Amino acid sequence: MSANRLKPEDIDKLGDALIALTHEVWVLRDRQKVLERLLADAGVLAPDAVQGFQPDDSLNAELGAEREALINNVLRALSA
């Protein structure tokens, strides 16, 4: 099996994908900060509530759909 799954001509697309991924990471970090601030201000969040949380089936499905959209965004750059 070749270790070079991407060819040299893919390098620009890899750069595009890296920036697309950075964009998505930022959008999420922004949202997380907003949520944590809102919840803390409302007295809803205990300090370790996020760290120890386990998602149920419903949240797992929601996370799955959002994860798929995130991956598709990166793949769009790789396959453009």
Partner 1 sequence: MGYQVQQRGRASIDFLTDLRRCSNRLEADPAIAGINPGAIFDHPQAGTKLDFVSMQTKTLRLLSDSEAFRVLRLCREWMLAAHGRIAMEAFAEMPVALSAELDAAKSGSSTLQYAPDLTLPAYWDGYEFHRSSGGWDGHDYMGFVHGELIHFHMVGRALAGVLHAQRLAAAEAALYDAPERILEMGCASGQFTAALAGTYPNARITALDLSARQLEQALRRGNEQGASWSLLQAAAEQTGLKAAQYDLVCSYAVFHELPRAVAEQVMVEKFRLCKPGGALLMADVKPYSSLSAHEVWNADFWNQVVGGDPHWREYAMTDFIALAESAGFVNVVWQGLGQYHYPYVLTGRKPASH
CB 24 within 8 A of CB 73: yes
Q: Name the 3-class secondary structure at 6.
A: coil
Site string for partner 1, 34-53 (x = CB under 8 A): x-------------------
Take residue 79 and report the two structure tokens written for it. Answer: 């396959």
* Least spacing, CB of residue 57 vs partner 1, in Å: 25
- Asked whether position 27 contacts partner 1 by CB under 8 A, the answer is yes
**Interface pick for partner 1 out of 7, 56, 75, 80 (rule CB under 8 A):** 80
Q: Sign (positive/negative) of CA torsion 75, 78, 79, 80?
A: positive
* Least spacing, CB of residue 29 vs partner 1, in Å: 8
